[in-house]
Structure 1
Amino acid sequence: MSHEITWKSVHDERESLLEDLAGLSDAQWRAPSLCEDWSVQQVVAHLASSARTSKASAAKQMLTHKGNVQAVSDAGVARFSGGTPAETLEAFRESMHERVSPFSAEAALGEVVVHAEDIRRALDIEHTYPAETLRQLADHYKDAGLGMGAGDRIKGLHLMATDQKWETGKGDVVSGPIIALIMTMLGRTAYLDDLSGDGVETYRARLTR
């Protein structure tokens, strides 16, 4: 997928998430997401922050926080989550069409899709992603580094999507919707029950240890 098409996908997914967020209650904004210990509001704050973070600003923040990646992330969340949900939503809206990333357009696409799922799954919100977007991300994450651990989680397993043509690896089969494969590659255990196959128990053990 070309650079330009990928950025269009980033913007489309941000706009789709904005529509879902616009109708949330205060209780839903405070609800826990699937992302570590972050609430829905904190995940949106993270998206507002990361959408503004270029390679140069990321390097500067890393120097400020002495190379502590979690501290950099937490600072971004704090910047945009200290006010009301409406203020956080507005910060996210203002970042809709930014075109910067510390890594790549593909990384920015993964950021919005994965964190949107962290919110949607937690709040039982349905969303259909373009098939080509999910294939692109599945290919991206199966070899992901950057501390994501996806390669180690799926090593020796054969992941196979059941809702479109995509597969990777050799070994015992883990099959299911491609979004569930993506999210479990990134450690989200909530999607394990969506999967089946001889390799699921091995996969589950790796994600829950």
Structure 2
Amino acid sequence: MDVATAIAGERRELAAMLESLTPAQWDAPTLCAGWRVREVAAHMSLGFRFPLPRMVLELVKARGDINRMADRRARQDAAALSTAELVSAIRDNASHPWKPPVGGITAALGHDVIHGLDITVALGLDRRVPEDRVRLLLEQVTPRTLKFFGADLDGIELRADDLDWSFGSGAVLTGAAQDLLLVTYGRKLPPGRLHGTARAARLSGL
């Protein structure tokens, strides 16, 4: 798969989805704790809007804490930019070469896919990420991924029910592949999206 093409497609599709939202949906909570849709959109476009020197300055202001920096900028930019400007920032930068500090171009695709799902799953929108994009990201899941995103899945096997993929061992937790991908990134999903034994639910915090 051409990852750059997949990223451009994902950003254009997410921009179209965002453009269709109502004002109430823009102010609705997402799977990112404490962030509404507008904060997530602001965060997704930050790397396009801020050149590297500005990003370094913002990190210095946050005393080197990248999470504090991301949260502050998301809140400030969500308040300063209109929804149309946030949509344009994503659509107009579909082919922007931005990448996270680690993980390269595949991590850039993961950033877009996961934050898009943070929005659509929380809003109950039936958007299916194209299977080739989901498969590529699932192939990158490792114990290190789980640790980085704070996903404690010790004693759990994740098993997709819509494609051939599983990860881990123990009590089985099943669901759509894109929902399980969210789990590996430390997200807590709305009730009813995942299925498994009581032990699997308990261990995964569901």
The TM tier, using the shorter chain, reads: 0.7 to 0.9
Alignment of 1:57-206 (within 5 A): 61-78=58-75, 80-81=77-78, 82-101=80-99, 102-103=101-102, 104-143=104-143, 144=145, 147-150=148-151, 153-191=152-190, 193-198=192-197, 201-206=199-204
* Partner Cα distance (1:84, 1:192) in 2: 32
- State the AA in 1 paired with 2:166: E
* Partner Cα distance (1:111, 1:105) in 2: 10
Corresponding position of 1:44: 41
Structure 1 residue 191: Cα displacement: 4.7
Residues 1:96 and 1:76: Cα distance change in structure 2 (over 3 Å): farther
* Partner Cα distance (1:61, 1:48) in 2: 15
Unaligned runs of 5+ residues in structure 2 are none
Percentage of matched positions with identical amino acids? 28
Aligned pair count reads 202
SS of 2:30's partner is coil
**Contact conserved, 1:180 with 1:192, CA < 8 A, in 2?**
no
Using structure 1 for the length normalisation, give the TM-score: 0.83
Between 1 and 2, higher relative CO (CA 8 Å, sep ≥ 6) is seen in 2
Listed one character per residue, the Cα deviations across residues 24-44 of structure 1 (whole Å, up to 9, x for unaligned) are 121111111121111111110
SS of 2:87's partner is helix
SS of 2:159's partner is strand
SS of 1:108's partner is helix
Structure 1 residue 168: Cα displacement: 1.7
Corresponding position of 2:31: 34
Listed one character per residue, the Cα deviations across residues 11-32 of structure 1 (whole Å, up to 9, x for unaligned) are 1111111111112121111111
- State the AA in 2 paired with 1:201: R
* Partner Cα distance (1:159, 1:205) in 2: 12
Structure 1 residue 126: Cα displacement: 1.6
| Bigger proportion of residues as helix | 1
* Partner Cα distance (2:51, 2:168) in 1: 33
* Partner Cα distance (1:52, 1:204) in 2: 41
Listed one character per residue, the Cα deviations across residues 129-184 of structure 1 (whole Å, up to 9, x for unaligned) are 2222112212323431673123xx22232221110011122222222211111112
Structure 1 residue 48: Cα displacement: 0.5
Q: Would you say 1:22 and 2:23 are equivalent positions? A: no
Unaligned runs of 5+ residues in structure 1 are none
